[in-house]
Amino acid sequence: MAEIHLLGIPMDLGAGRRGVDMGPSALRLARLEPVLRELGHDVVDHGNVPVSVAEATASGDALPYADAIADACSRTYLATRGLPDGALPIFLGGDHAIAMGTAAGAAGERTGLLWIDAHADLNTPATSPSGNVHGMPLAVLLGEGDPRFTGVWGGGPVIRPEDVVYIGLRRLDPAERAWIQRAGIRAYTMTDLDRRGMAEVAAEALDHLARLPRLHVSFDADALDPQLAPGVGTPVPGGLSYREAHLLMELLSATERVTSLDLVEVNPILDLRNRTAEIMVEMTASLLGKSIL
């Protein structure tokens, strides 16, 4: 059984719509900790990292709230680095910009990154159509973008392009598409899943990452179809079904190689009776050992 450490990062400063800062509360309300304990895991909840509130934060910067986002990610990075050896951290977002602190903090030796998302999050301030930082974290982890963000860990890349795998992509900006192709990043779109099925795609993705000693999974709720998970700020039709997502989690569980996990972009304001948070908790349970038989 794992020693699981929960850390909330209640940040919506990187998103274009408010409310995702309540994601950690929604996930806790959906019984994340009791569910993990019922599976036999030891669980420690460290509460939330302090994050500035948008209404009380001046933002005259061309990149909205950049300093406050960098501060929250720095706090997250340091808190993660302070966890015990062998701990399995689960990070409760918050918008996906938190991954600049979570994935960097969890990446000790060379680390694989499985990015489960409708979006590539590979924009930089120069390429982003919206300017929203939650569309930039993977670019930052690869060493590009605003130096305030790469400065969270002292600069440079913490993840290599060849160590990244996407699953669930279905909406990309032109610069992101060009970067994926140029860098040769392994990417499985919903078209790939339609054609080949989740079992084959997941097996190939995990085989690609099997050479790496650590695996960080960054799970954005908008990877799921919005009819299943409506509580997200950037819904895209045609996402993962309930069983596709569960199968991916079950296959990940079977590898026993996941060393850290993000649960991000759950927005209770846009949800129906906390359905999205509850589904994300169910997916986490499958990842951490819950099985049908």
Catalytic, out of 192, 220, 244, 271: 220
Task: Please give the Cα distance from 92 to 9 (Å, whole number).
Answer: 6
Active site residue 222: yes
Catalytic, out of 21, 71, 95, 121: 121
Active site residue 96: yes
Active site residue 265: yes
Cα separations (Å) of 87 from 72, 109, 137, 259, 275? 21, 15, 23, 8, 28
Active site residue 121: yes
What's the distance, Cα to Cα, between the start and end of the chain in Å?
18
CB atoms closer than 10 angstroms to residue 192: 18
Active site residue 134: yes
- The letter for the amino acid at 55 is E
Catalytic, out of 163, 265, 271, 278: 265
Catalytic, out of 119, 163, 216, 250: 119
Task: Please give the Cα distance from 152 to 220 (Å, whole number).
Answer: 22
Task: Please give the Cα distance from 266 to 259 (Å, whole number).
Answer: 22
At CA 210, angle to CA 205 and CA 216, rounded to 5? 75
Helix axis angle, 198-209 to 242-255, nearest 10°: 30
Of 183, 240, 259, the residue nearest 2 (C-alpha): 259
- Contacts (Cβ under 8 Å, ≥6 apart) of 34: none
Catalytic, out of 5, 134, 216, 246: 134
Task: Please give the Cα distance from 193 to 245 (Å, whole number).
Answer: 11
* Residues that are catalytic: 96, 117, 119, 121, 134, 220, 222, 265
